Amino acid sequence: MRVERETPVFGERVPGVVYHPRPGAYALVFDAAGRVAVVHEDEDWYLPGGGLEAGETAEQALVREVREECACGVRIESLFRNAVEYLVSRAGRPLEVQAHYFRASFVGVSTAVWLSPTEACARVRRRSDAWVITAAREQAS
């Protein structure tokens, strides 16, 4: 699978604002019915995954985050896309989310919520998550 060389950017980088880099790894998991796995956290919806901790690779972070958020393991198939998103966290901290999106499957029973791609795109907080869900479904078609 080819990973796009150009990294799309979402949100606006406001001049003079210091954005804190937040590298993260996120799972694109679809079930047999074409629904995508999402998690609900602090009133927001996201793809399973999260930020890298010191010394972690994106793959190691994804395994840890899926275990924490979905109570199961994850089989990473391939890196699908990367994206950058400028946003302000719920705590008011300006972030530069450096997202690595992986095609993956769950190992064991997951506690993730399964939504249609359309519904997931309408609910997820990050625009980059909606973009990559759409890109993955279009490629699978």
Mean pLDDT, contiguous 10-residue spans, the chain (141 residues): 69 96 97 97 94 97 98 97 95 96 97 98 97 91 64
CA distance 1 to 121: 23
CA distance 88 to 64: 24
3-state secondary structure of 129: helix
Options 3.90.79.10, 3.30.1200.10, 1.20.120.140, 3.20.20.70; CATH of 9-140: 3.90.79.10
CA distance 70 to 117: 19
pTM, to two decimals: 0.93
Q: Parse the chain into domains and list their residue ranges.
A: 9-140
The DSSP call for residue 76 is E
